[in-house]
Amino acid sequence: MKYTSLGRSGLQVSRLCLGTMNFGPHATPEESFAIMDRAHEHGINFFDTADVYGWQKGEGITEKIIGDWFAKGENRREKTVIATKLYGDMGNGNMDGWPNTNRVTALHIRRACEASLQRLKTDYIDLYQMHHIYRNTPWEEIWEAFSILKQQGKVLYIGSSNFAGWHIARANEEAKQRGIMGLVSEQSKYSLLQREIEMEVGPAAEAYGVGVIPWSPLAGGILGGVIKTQEGQRRLNDQSKLTIEKHRDALTKWEDLCEAIGEKPADVALAWTLSKSFVTGPIIGPRTIEQFDGSLRALEIEITTELNEKIDAIFPAFKTSPEHYAW
């Protein structure tokens, strides 16, 4: 396994990040345990989750599955860099409908962290991420709340998800004024079909030493070879099918290119994200052991200058801002 620093931090994480969103809804606890064990067998130490995963309000089902796996011992927790997220509404039962059970406020940060620690059966979170930007809370409140958690040893690093480039800049400038580290990572939707972050998020992240962790690097499976395989198409929802029709010509050329170099489209798509200088590692979200094993090939594929030019011809790159719209 190849490892890299998480942003400008000294924390070493695997170049592939195991996404756990399928744990619970699509993979049983036993299947989830097997996937996490296989990840460790291959040296993947970076796992990503969120308190809302499992999609039953307030239950934190996916975190509970990971916590039960940690509880099996054999240094599972110590070998894992666990990243989780807060923002979504976790109010259920007699808290349903009450305020302060979601978003990013000092109160919810504290409550959400304590709840995630209990579900994960651990006393600290390696990377605690804001799932979305919350514009109504001032940064002095946010950074004070996270600083308290860090002082208590409950959180080690702070990250963001779905932030704009200027959000990353503002967050880290505010942190700098307080003499604290600020954001070390940003999760962004990034794939060959959605390259907009190359304009501002990628350059901002690189400038501030924030490692980008792409989510949906296969565009919901669309880049995995859906034109030539009926099996891939059967799993897609209606929105994905519309996307395929919109990009059918490009996707056909994409699959032809991958066939010509003798590689699977999904593996090349992951390898392409790994080739970007601002990327720490893409999130893979396998439902089965077989899907997990298939993802490992991406670590061995070299995206040469010639191959990158061919890919850009199919899926055009974005110029960084302001070059994209000014000169």
| pLDDT on residue 299 | 97
Query: Does 251 map to a domain?
Result: no
Residue 153: domain span: 3-221+273-303
| 182-200 residue pLDDT tens | 999 999 999 999 999 999 9
Residue 53 designated active-site: yes
In a domain, 241, yes or no: no
Helices (H), 216-314: 230-234, 238-246, 248-260, 265-274, 289-295, 305-314
Residue 66 region, left (φ>0) first, then alpha (ψ -120 to 50), else beta? alpha
Q: Look at residue 48 and tell me if it is in a domain.
A: yes
- 249 is a domain residue: no
Number of domains in the chain: 1
Of 53, 87, 128, 190, which residue is the catalytic one? 53
- What's the confidence (pLDDT) of residue 177? 98
Domain assignment present for 70: yes
Q: What is the pTM of this model?
A: 0.96
Residue-level pLDDT at 233: 63
Q: Is residue 143 part of a domain?
A: yes
Is 149 a member of any domain?
A: yes
pLDDT of residue 229: 80
CATH number for the domain harbouring residue 174: 3.20.20.100
